[in-house]
Amino acid sequence: NAGVTQTPKFQVLKTGQSMTLQCAQDMNHEYMSWYRQDPGMGLRLIHYSVGAGITDQGEVPNGYNVSRSTTEDFPLRLLSAAPSQTSVYFCASSYSGGTGRSQYFGPGTRLLVL
Amino acid sequence: TQLLEQSPQFLSIQEGENLTVYCNSSSVFSSLQWYRQEPGEGPVLLVTVVTGGEVKKLKRLTFQFGDARKDSSLHITAAQPGDTGLYLCAGVGGSQGNLIFGKGTKLSVKP
């Protein structure tokens, strides 16, 4: 199993550009989530999904959109990038909503918005 | 809003020393997880504690969940350079069991 994969690994955007961060898992996990990690801020939840067709907002959802058309994929879209979205983005998955379950994290996407 | 505070924020020690990292909250969590993250990688789950007062051991690492399920500690005995990394605690809360992360403790173990 590849686990959780994320592409791209690095990305530089100009303010106002759009892009999609890809996340895929091959463990048949129902729960998937996106976090951003900033220095001194820890990991903050952006959006999450408890199954295909079901998504919800986390702590910091503004400026990001998600959809979940399949169990395997959970892309994160930045519609109009801003410098404040410069961060490292992690996708994670687990069998359920995290209660006592192992969360598996991808390797991250490092995004710089100029 | 549920918050988790970790201390210390940074810790630099010599190989062979013992250390303890703390994770505290005013909120009750159904369970608490500890992760380790190495530079350029995603966090990796070390342990999940569920019951108040629970103690779990993972080789030289000892994890404890407070009796009231509001706090936790990680104790490392005879630290080694391979223990270097960012240690994150995460409380499981909310209706969907989402994770709430502390800001982390950055540990450096020097040979």
Tens digits of per-residue pLDDT, A65-107?
999 999 999 999 999 999 999 999 999 999 875 556 788 999 9
Q: In whole angstroms, how far apart are CA B88 and each of B57, B82, B106? A: 17, 16, 9
> Residue A35's pLDDT is what?
97
Largest CA distance in chain A: 40
Residue range A20-55, pLDDT digits in tens = 999 999 999 999 999 999 988 889 999 999 999 999
CA distance A107 to A109: 7
What pLDDT, on a 0 to 100 scale, did the predictor assign at position A99? Answer: 58
pLDDT digits 0-9 by tens, B6-17: 999 999 999 999
Degrees, nearest 5: CA angle A43-A6-A14: 80
Q: Is A102 on the interface with B (CB under 8 A)?
A: yes
Query: Whole-angstrom Cα distance, residue B48 to residue B59?
Result: 15
pLDDT at position B1: 67
Please state the φ and ψ torsions of residue B81, each to the nearest 5 degrees: -55, -30
- pLDDT score of B73: 97
- Which residues between 54 and 83 in chain B have a beta carbon less than 8 angstroms from any beta carbon of chain A? none
3-state secondary structure of A81: coil
Best CA proximity match to A64, nearest among A84, A79, A52: A79
**Which pLDDT value is given to residue A95?**
83
Q: In the A/B pair of chains, how many CB contacts fall below 8 A?
A: 66
Contact B99 A107 (CB under 8 A): no
Report the residue of B23, B54, B96 to disrupt the A interface, i.e. the one with the largest count of A CBs within 10 Å: B96
The answer to whether the CB of A98 falls within 8 A of the CB of A49 is no
Cα–Cα distance between A62 and A16 in angstroms, integer? 15
* Number of other residues whose CB lies within 10 A of the CB of residue A48: 27
For chain B, what is the mean pLDDT? 93
Q: Is B15 on the interface with A (CB under 8 A)?
A: no
B40, B42, B99 ranked by CB distance to A98: nearest: B99
pLDDT of res. B68: 92
B62-104, pLDDT tens digit by residue? 999 999 999 999 999 999 999 999 999 999 876 677 889 999 9
**Cα(B46)–Cα(B36) distance, rounded to whole angstroms?**
7
Task: Please choose, from the candidates B77, B80, B88, B72, the residue with its C-alpha nearest in 3D space to the C-alpha of residue B28.
Answer: B72
A58 pLDDT band, cuts 50/70/90, is very high
**Inter-chain contact B103–A33, Cβ cutoff 8 Å?**
no
CB distance from A88 to chain B under 8 Å?
Answer: no
- Quote the pLDDT of residue B98: 85
Kindly determine whether residue B41 and residue A107, on different chains, have CB atoms separated by under 8 Å: yes
Q: What does each C-alpha distance from B96 to A31, A57, B99 come to in angstroms?
A: 10, 11, 9
Q: Do A98 and B102 touch (CB under 8 A)?
A: no
- pLDDT over 90 percentage in chain B: 82
